[in-house]
Structure 1
Amino acid sequence: MNDTPRRGPIARFFIGLWDAMNFTRRLILNLVFFALLFIVLAILGAGPRTRPLLDRTTLVIAPEGALVEQYSNDPLTRALGKAMGERGGEVQLRDLVRALDAARDDKRIERVVLDLDELDASGFASLREVAQAVARVKASGKQVVAFAEMMDQKQYLLAAQANEVYLDPMGGMLLEGLGRYRTYYRQGLQDKLGVDVHLFKVGEYKSAAEPYVLDAASPEAKEADLFWMNDVWQRYLGDVAKARKLDATQLAQSIDQMPAGIASAQGDLARFALQTKLVDGLKTREEVDDLLVQRGVADDDADGGFRQASLDEYLLQLDSGLEAVDGRPQVAVIVAEGEIRSGEQPPGTVGGESTAALLREARDDENVKAVVLRVDSPGGEVFASEQIRREVVALKKAGKPVSVSMGDLAASGGYWISMDADRIYADASTITGSIGIFGLIPTIPRALDKIGVHSDGVGTTRFAGAFDITRPLQPEVGEVIQSVINKGYRDFTGRVASARNKPVEQVDAIARGRVWSGEQAKERGLVDELGGLQQAIEFAATKAKLGKPDSYHVRYIEKAATPFERFFTGFVGSRAGGAWLRDSDMARSLLAKASPQAAADLRFLEGAITPTRGVPVKALAYCFCGL
């Protein structure tokens, strides 16, 4: 019989330590497992944070953040932001319009309230689409009430459509007109830093790069800007005057005489807005809530004390009724929003490859019978724009009609990707045109000399290293670059002439980098019809012979969310998930490290000088013409 040898005290210590570590490891793994199991069960049991929509509900539309065509961040980031109570962000134009149009015919919605303090609008074309949707609600007989504590003139364009507009007594609202002022860097770059910026362009109105070579706007730039801005501003005054039953001329005079008017109101901006009949009354938020309680249904559990549904809640209601599979033929909508850059780009930026891939997906999908390209872009790189234009042409060759709906801005490269569509629609206040090309090259030998740094070396030809920014730019090299830019302009105007069935000379007369409003562009044949996205969809469907609107389905083709993003978005949208994220400091700290972060946009100048293989300068079709 063999006896088991006794372990010494040192061995027993390490064995005990090992057992303790094993126990701790198993305990942690079990805790993590049960925590994950609890989360999954919470997701399955909680469901979406929606309540049945009751009769006599007030729809409260209080958009927070920028009004955009397409979200620029992923669903997970948006869901996390909402769950943690972050303010700001983005609201999609399409969501605002469809909520308003649905509310117009929804018998459960008694009235609509517009709370506009947090809306950050960009251009007037998209605002006019929302304003028209508000006007349709009012025309249906449903009351629309607008309120703000502080309001700018863009927010006011929406508020003006309401039956009643209220402003906080301590608030303010001014109509001031349109202006566009830019910062000019020539003296700072060249005289102070010694950076010589060389601009090559075609078109005296192509002013995008002027700030790098001038100290003030050129006469041509001021002439062109004032021409289209006056057109947009007069239309704005007309829209407000019509909605408020005012005289547009008197409204313009009240703005011109603003100092005297505000003085007569003793510096009270809210009272001045009331005196000029831009608002119907001065009320605090609590007083507006009391008014809505009296007119609606009291609900002590709701914000403000009246029965209501928020924009997000109402959109969930609308989406919950959608069928999982729709067998009807499709009109695909593809959004091209932001600067046009090469390669794969995230939403909010147009990628030569990524946006072209979406168009190609529509071409290859047998269920898609027609396509609408929604463009809101100042342009960007010429080659990337051409990649997208080629896909538009390929769609037409495949027998699928293509219409373009221009948003706030479809200029320069934004027009390049639009011009070959079967029909181009623009709002009268869209900014478009800017048909021109430029290139920008800085050289820094003088800047280096200021700190005692110099560049020297040898090359096998006199042009070897000629495009190195640490060397002075030779005149012969400048001639090469200008030839490239001239060729780009010929390509641009030639393609416009072919697409729009116009002589090149006629296109050149309205090109040369000049910017137009949508109305002005239509007068010059650059746009076919004035209208919004819905009109572009109806045209594409009609041309594809799809029948009445209820016989086809409109589908946005966008980059799909990953399975994890869909899973986690559903979790944080649930009651349990939202509460866990709001109340758990641990969750906040972990998610702050793990959640995806959007890459910072490249500065325009940095992108312009990024070298491209095989070409001496990156040809740009870009317009700094937004408001």
Structure 2
Amino acid sequence: MPWPWRRKSRKTLARVVIEGPIAGGTRERVLKALRQVEERECPALLLRIDTPGGTVGDSQEIHAALLRLRDKGCRVVASFGNISASGGVYVGVAAERIVSNPGTITGSIGVILRGNNLSRLLERVGISFETVKSGLYKDILSPDRALTADERTLLQGLIDSSYDQFVAAVANGRGLSEDVVRGFADGRVFTGAQALALGMVDELGDEDTARRLAARLAGLDEHELRPTTFGKPAKRLLSFLPGRNLFASLQEALSLELAWSGQPLWLWRP
């Protein structure tokens, strides 16, 4: 007899939410949820996306998992919320269809890499680093000095390669040529209405519009069926405190500047 969490759910509309920056914790939660959707053989998935993007590798792993789920016959519809930019777009184009609010902030197709040059500050406070390295570029983006011209060229090549991967994924997912995608993939953001005109999304509507579309694609009752959410984010103690939104925003900004410094990111950074 199969375990309860592996029972087949051929009439279940699954729902998975990607919210906040895409990083290791989000990747682990979402991948686990997608495995549960696959094990229960849910015929359709409503993927709710509300994220400015995040790290390249984590976005790619979620994208690949969604494609595998579709290969198993699951119909995947993405719903763009307040924002689905950069890595959020990369994840979204793995869906069969995309529904966006007219005012959703989307786009920002591109790659950004930032380091912190603290050399002047360190000089003022009398701090210096002694570096022993095995190769010329081993301390690239070190915070105690500026980039050399050769290092900038090397990093630009890395960024260009990541950008090419992004463009190819959008082109394949949306049925567009890479030249067309490159025409608007310069880091700019769009509203959902603008994205529709560019072919980045299929139709305008809210999450319920996406729910009904997913149900129809899977031959389910769109009027009565309500989705079952997999991989719900754990509630944190701070979520009950006053000023929690400001604290979360500050925490997120600090994470982006410190934890992700020196990493290529598929991230909208206004």
What's the TM-score bracket when you normalise by the shorter of the two chains?
0.7 to 0.9
The answer to whether the aligner puts 1:559 opposite 2:232 as a matched pair is: yes
The CA distance in 2 between the partners of 1:410 and 1:603, in whole Å, is 17
Matches within 5 A, 1:141-540: 329-341=11-23, 343-344=24-25, 351-366=26-41, 368-540=42-214
Q: Structure 1-normalised TM-score?
A: 0.38
How far did 1:413 drift? Answer: 1.2
Does the CA contact (< 8 Å) of 1:441 and 1:609 recur in 2?
no
What letter corresponds to residue 494 of structure 1 in structure 2? Answer: A
What letter corresponds to residue 557 of structure 1 in structure 2? Answer: F
Deviations 1:209-235 (A, max 9, x none): xxxxxxxxxxxxxxxxxxxxxxxxxxx
How far did 1:558 drift? Answer: 3.1
Report SS of the residue matched to 1:442: coil
What letter corresponds to residue 265 of structure 2 in structure 1? Answer: L
Q: Pairwise CA RMSD of aligned residues?
A: 2.4
Aligned-residue sequence identity (percent) comes to 30
Matches within 5 A, 1:592-603: 596-597=237-238, 601=248, 602-603=251-252
Task: Say if 1:554 and 1:605 are closer, same or farther in 2 by CA, change over 3 A.
Answer: closer
Does the CA contact (< 8 Å) of 1:455 and 1:471 recur in 2?
no
Does the CA contact (< 8 Å) of 2:119 and 2:144 recur in 1?
yes
The CA distance in 2 between the partners of 1:509 and 1:441, in whole Å, is 28
Deviations 1:346-387 (A, max 9, x none): xxxxx1221222122212113x22100011111121211112
Task: Say if 1:611 and 1:548 are closer, same or farther in 2 by CA, change over 3 A.
Answer: closer
The answer to whether the aligner puts 1:610 opposite 2:255 as a matched pair is: no
What letter corresponds to residue 604 of structure 1 in structure 2? Answer: A
The CA distance in 2 between the partners of 1:548 and 1:502, in whole Å, is 30
Tell me which residue corresponds to 2:4.
Answer: none
Tell me which residue corresponds to 1:259.
Answer: none
Does the CA contact (< 8 Å) of 2:32 and 2:231 recur in 1?
no
The CA distance in 2 between the partners of 1:531 and 1:521, in whole Å, is 13
How far did 1:420 drift? Answer: 1.7
What letter corresponds to residue 610 of structure 1 in structure 2? Answer: A
How far did 1:458 drift? Answer: 3.1
The CA distance in 2 between the partners of 1:370 and 1:603, in whole Å, is 32
Matches within 5 A, 1:79-118: none
What letter corresponds to residue 332 of structure 1 in structure 2? Answer: A
Report SS of the residue matched to 2:145: coil
The CA distance in 1 between the partners of 2:222 and 2:85, in whole Å, is 33
Does the CA contact (< 8 Å) of 1:440 and 1:609 recur in 2?
no
How far did 1:436 drift? Answer: 1.1
Task: Say if 1:597 and 1:480 are closer, same or farther in 2 by CA, change over 3 A.
Answer: same
Which runs of 5 or more residues in structure 2 are unaligned?
A: 1-8
Deviations 1:435-494 (A, max 9, x none): 111100112222111112222343333223334322332222222211111111111111
Does the CA contact (< 8 Å) of 2:84 and 2:105 recur in 1?
yes
Deviations 1:529-568 (A, max 9, x none): 1111112111111111124533x4421223387xxx9xxx
Does the CA contact (< 8 Å) of 1:402 and 1:422 recur in 2?
yes
Report SS of the residue matched to 1:441: coil
**Larger relative contact order (Cα-Cα within 8 Å, sequence gap ≥ 6):** 2
Q: Structure 2-normalised TM-score?
A: 0.85
Report SS of the residue matched to 2:61: helix
How far did 1:606 drift? Answer: 4.3
What letter corresponds to residue 621 of structure 1 in structure 2? Answer: W
Tell me which residue corresponds to 1:79.
Answer: none
Does the CA contact (< 8 Å) of 2:78 and 2:98 recur in 1?
yes
Task: Say if 1:460 and 1:488 are closer, same or farther in 2 by CA, change over 3 A.
Answer: closer
Deviations 1:541-600 (A, max 9, x none): 1111124533x4421223387xxx9xxxxxxxxxxxxxxxxxxxxxxxxxxxxx944696
The CA distance in 1 between the partners of 2:233 and 2:125, in whole Å, is 50
Kindly tell me the number of residue pairs found equivalent between the two proteins: 254
Deviations 1:56-110 (A, max 9, x none): xxxxxxxxxxxxxxxxxxxxxxxxxxxxxxxxxxxxxxxxxxxxxxxxxxxxxxx
Task: Say if 1:525 and 1:611 are closer, same or farther in 2 by CA, change over 3 A.
Answer: closer
Tell me which residue corresponds to 1:621.
Answer: 266
What letter corresponds to residue 359 of structure 1 in structure 2? Answer: L
How far did 1:412 drift? Answer: 1.1
Deviations 1:290-327 (A, max 9, x none): xxxxxxxxxxxxxxxxxxxxxxxxxxxxxxxxxxxxx8
What letter corresponds to residue 85 of structure 2 in structure 1? Answer: A
Which runs of 5 or more residues in structure 1 are unaligned?
A: 1-326, 345-350, 566-594
The CA distance in 2 between the partners of 1:457 and 1:517, in whole Å, is 47
Task: Say if 1:501 and 1:548 are closer, same or farther in 2 by CA, change over 3 A.
Answer: closer
